[in-house]
Amino acid sequence: MAARRRVLPVRTPGGLSLRLDVRAVLVGLLLLALALAAGIVLIGSGDYPMTPAEVVGTLTGGGTAGQEFIVRDLRLPRVLVGLLVGAAFGIAGAVFQTVSRNPLGSPDVLGFGQGSAVGALTVIVYFQGGPFAVAAGAVVGGVVTGAAIFLLAWKRGIHGYRFVLVGIGAAAMLYALVLYLMTKANIVEATRATIWMTGSLNGRGWDQVWPLAAVCAVLVPLVLCYGRPLRMLEMGDDAAYALGVRVDRVRGIALPAAVLLVASATAAAGPISFVALTAPQLVRRLTRSPGPNPLPSALMGAALLVAADWSAQRLFGADQLPVGVLTGVLGGGYLLWLLATERRAGRV
């Protein structure tokens, strides 16, 4: 017999009654602490090492001029980009897996990263655009890909496996287009494109922090507001309709928001693989709670990406291994394990 879940009733000042899952809240607080701790440790890593106490002191205005420059101008933007990108991938992955009702329904599996790569490479190869133009191309490519996959998968609603199959087919076609664009590039453009496609936090500054922070400030609260309706969608459209959920409206708001989060995160750091796939799955196992768990998924994504970047620096040096390589290796292994688990359960 399964243990009863501890649920805490809460009444807001406006008279709204809420029920908080105690385990999910504790997991969320733990992930928040881990993400912040990993960020502080990452700020202190590098050619000029700093202790966590020195990092915190510098962030609060107690450091030397040299420490202020290293922390605020060089390392803090990189860490903030990592936290924001990880959070965007984590919450977007939770939305996609919930809407598709499939643990494989992740943006990097469904082709959204490849779509952003096509947009960025088009700008690099044909227009020799600067960093801002490349980022804009990545956003446009991701949004167009999301709209195309959604339209192709729509048939009196979105069925989970049809959505996944259309996305996998689109990913294969877009990857072929990426290879074609690479053949059209000269040596300088090909090198630049390869570095961008690897996915990295190296050299990220405040120019990447502020646009991504603005996008997350708008879209993350929007997705969080639809947490309960998204949970109802996992039971199927008919059950969700019976519970009063406006299914088409929920999909029409949550999916575009997730697509924009993925496109913006990819524009800021490149197509970093498997964070969107693993973060929601790990959160489900920790919270033992159904539904998308959007906020814990965002915190898990942030913690995973910053921890992966710190691990890459510690193992291979600050600029030798982009974080996208490490997440790809670890995430690929997790995907194989997930496929084997789904096969044993008879769902694949």
Cβ neighbour number for residue 192 with a 10 Å cutoff: 18
Greater model confidence, 312 or 144? 144
> For a pLDDT cut of 70, what percent of the chain falls above it?
89
What sign does the dihedral 82-87-93-96 (CA atoms) show?
A: negative
Look at residue 192 and give its three-state secondary structure.
Answer: helix
**pLDDT score for 326:** 83
- pLDDT tens per residue across span 86-119: 999 999 999 988 887 777 778 878 888 889 889 9
**pLDDT score for 122:** 92
- What token pair was written down for 69? 């420059």
**Mean pLDDT across the stretch 250-270?**
88
Spatial CB neighbours of 103, under 8 Å, sequence gap ≥ 6: 97, 281, 338, 342
3: pLDDT strictly greater than 50 = no
Mean pLDDT, rounded, of the chain = 83
**pLDDT score for 163:** 78
161: pLDDT strictly greater than 80 = no
pLDDT band at residue 2 using 50, 70 and 90 as cut-offs: very low
**Mean pLDDT across the stretch 45-63?**
86
**pLDDT score for 13:** 54
Greater model confidence, 335 or 191? 191
- Residue spans per domain, the chain: 73-344
**pLDDT score for 261:** 93
Q: Are 290 and 97 in contact (CB under 8 A)?
A: no
pTM: 0.87
73: pLDDT strictly greater than 80 = yes
What sign does the dihedral 230-331-171-132 (CA atoms) show?
A: positive
54: pLDDT strictly greater than 70 = yes
pLDDT band at residue 157 using 50, 70 and 90 as cut-offs: low
pLDDT band at residue 211 using 50, 70 and 90 as cut-offs: very high
pLDDT band at residue 242 using 50, 70 and 90 as cut-offs: confident
Q: What is the CATH number of domain 73-344?
A: 1.10.3470.10
**pLDDT score for 1:** 36
What sign does the dihedral 294-33-306-204 (CA atoms) show?
A: positive
- pLDDT tens per residue across span 220-230: 999 998 888 88
pLDDT band at residue 193 using 50, 70 and 90 as cut-offs: confident
